[in-house]
Structure 1
Amino acid sequence: MKSWKMQQAKEHMSEVVQRARDDGPQEITMRGRSVAVVISREMYDQLSGKNESLADFIRNSPLFGTEEIEFERDRSPTRDVAL
Structure 2
Amino acid sequence: MSTWQLQEAKSRFSELVEQALSNGPQWVTRRGEEAVVVLAAADYRLLQQGPSLVKVLTNAPRGEPLVLQRSVEPVRDLYL
TM-score range, shorter chain: 0.5 to 0.7
The share of aligned pairs that are identical, in percent, is: 37
- Residue by residue over 1:52-75, the C-alpha shift from the partner in whole angstroms, topping out at 9 and shown as x without a partner, is 7xxxxxxxxxxxxxxxxxx85xxx
Question: Taking structure 1 as the reference length, what is the TM-score of the superposition?
Answer: 0.59
Secondary structure of 1:37's partner? strand
Corresponding residue for 1:21? 21
Look at both structures and tell me which one has the larger radius of gyration over its CA atoms: 2
Corresponding residue for 1:64? none
Q: How does 1:1-80 map to 2 (within 5 A)?
A: 1-49=1-49, 72=67
Unaligned runs of 5+ in 2: 51-65, 68-80
Corresponding residue for 1:76? none
Question: Taking structure 2 as the reference length, what is the TM-score of the superposition?
Answer: 0.61
Unaligned runs of 5+ in 1: 53-70, 73-83
Once superposed, which parts of structure 1, at least 4 consecutive aligned residues long, lie more than 4 Å away? none
Shift of 1:39: 0.3
